[in-house]
Structure 1
Amino acid sequence: MPIRIPPARWDFRGFVFCFIFLGSFPGTILTQEVTLDSIRIFKTHEWFPTKPTVYFQCKGENKTVFPDVKKLNVSYSFKGVESWQPLTQLNGTKCKRCGIYEEDTLKYDTFDEWELCPSDFSAEGRYTHVKEKEFDATFLCHGCSQVGAGTNKESGSEKEEERRGMHPAIVVLIVVLVLGVVAVGLIVGYKYWRKKKRQQEQARFLKLFEDGDENEDELGLEDTL
């Protein structure tokens, strides 16, 4: 009689299988949260003397307002557990087009826009972005450094492929050098051949001259006799 495995055991096995399957693709499924650690603004773009409204936004996502950032040249630090945190999420090794903006009375102004990537974060999960005369901000992303390490490896392999791509250039250079040596050899050989030919013609001419003198001497003797 076959033994039936309880459904609960199958559920547990399915959970373990899914965990292993998802864990085997960390670069494509793993999601990392990005939080703001600190920020300091150096200027505002508001025409009227009001406190600025500074916010963070990635392309296609909702904006996140920094409610406490109101004064210039003041460093604001955060714990990462504020109600408006996290700022965004990074999936695998993919980058996002993000920026820090100021919402003015009539329009919005851009402090800066850039590509936010997991590979930007250090091994401690920290990344600092500076825009001269605008702001500097430090972001945290725990787990991004592990994904970023794989991206760095890929960039290293790309550099290695670029080095390998230099080989054809070296081959072309060697071929050019060989052709140059062959051309020089041909020129030298041609000059040497012409020199030898000239010497042979001179030797033949001298021999004909000497033969002519001998013939004349023989003819002179015969006439005397």
Structure 2
Amino acid sequence: MSTWMKMSLPDSASPIMEQLIFFHDHTLFISLMILSTVMYMMMMMFKNKLINRNLNENQMIETTWTIMPALILVTIAIPSLKILYMMEEIINPVITIKTMGHQWFWSYEYSDKNQIEIESYMEKKKKLKKFRLLDVDNRISLPYLTQSRMLISSTDVLHSWTIPSLGLKMDAIPGRLNQISMIINKPGLFFGQCSEICGTNHSFMPIVLESVKMKYFIKWINK
């Protein structure tokens, strides 16, 4: 879980988040290389007191600084498109959860198994022990290493269902059903919050997903 002292991205708990972190590092390295090159050229130009009359309308320089940015953009675009296709792909989900955003809480429905409906509100201050503004009274549960799908919509205004450590973010739009696919690598609690300004209590509708073994999930869903 991220804290205010942490500067890096949250630890990944899904293949998608791993790819997003790799892409972030890849793009950051390219950006730093561009920055250092431009800074070096600017410093050399400040030190150079001579004027090269052949520098104006130099075709080789024009060609170079046109082709080089195009190649850089290609090296960024290819892995970016690959991740986008991975995030959109739905591969035979074992479990489907329907998620609805409300002002200001989330509701969940496990409709393909036993009919289970959950309303998830932020935990009251009196009961909080550790996770301030992050814990909820009813957590959703999913088995790890299992392909799952989430259908997301809203009953009133725009919301956004987000869990950073899983690399998940999908808008909840009234009258429209969006879907995301996920597979979790490890057990644990994963926290998120609404990421779309949705009204007065926008900051008070957190998300908590609990990843467990399949046998514990089956036991929980059959209660």
Q: Give the TM bin, normalised by the shorter chain.
A: under 0.3
Q: Under a length normalisation based on structure 1, what TM-score does the superposition of the two structures give? A: 0.24
For the pair shown, the structure with the greater C-alpha radius of gyration is: 1
Q: Which has the higher helix share?
A: 1
